[in-house]
Structure 1
């Protein structure tokens, strides 16, 4: 038993498919091609097997076609010899370890606030609520901790490396 779609239904489906394809980023010509390819694949499937909801199945086919086009549209430039090398990570790891030691050396109240900031996307307002402290207290602890950490790693208040290094 095969599903049948009548001509007015096909025209309405093609119109919906074209609109959807354009919303998926296809140009007008590409949207037309994708809609026609979708209907062709839908008919091929309907010859093989009963399709309960042809319009829904057609939308699925269209989305799969769009995904395939997106994958092939990725422009991969060939790597040059200079691009192949990676930056050394040892210096970054040493800097991070040094910063972690500096945070541990902060006074407990400042270190606690810095650890909470470093653990995730936590705002000073949320930290104040979690620690049951006024927002101003959290902000001042955070500011003092940042000043000490900048001094420890050799940054001035303007964010530039100090002349002492």
Structure 2
């Protein structure tokens, strides 16, 4: 399985397959939650949003920041990985994009450690490529290097 990313049509909040699964997505570093993929996450589970907001609120005493990962168990065999890979948010006046590839790379490396420890597969949309404004051509090699090449099974969901 080393080095492969599988692409499927579907909803990353309904991960396919057997065993332990981690649903991974990118969050911003401002404590904002309410647009994009997180809406689907919150429709399915309340815990990831509550945990993210608490993590941000208490950031003076924790690791909240670019590149950090928060793992939240939502079902017996399902976890959600809140990964901080976006600096700020896009506004009408902003120029440039909020995505931070270095932070996504750091977060994916940590995610890989968690996945290997849990014996989990990883399930995600095209992280960092929605509201964060990133390009999949830049993100995909990070996913391959930090997860797939470490023998973590990865499924990317396109709606």
Q: What range describes the TM-score normalised by the shorter chain of this pair?
A: under 0.3
Of Structure 1 and Structure 2, which has the larger fraction of its residues in strand? 2
Of Structure 1 and Structure 2, which has the larger fraction of its residues in helix? 1
Structure showing greater relative contact order (alpha-carbon pairs closer than 8 Å, 6 or more residues apart): 2
TM-score by length of 2: 0.22
TM-score by length of 1: 0.22
Flag the structure with larger Rg. 1
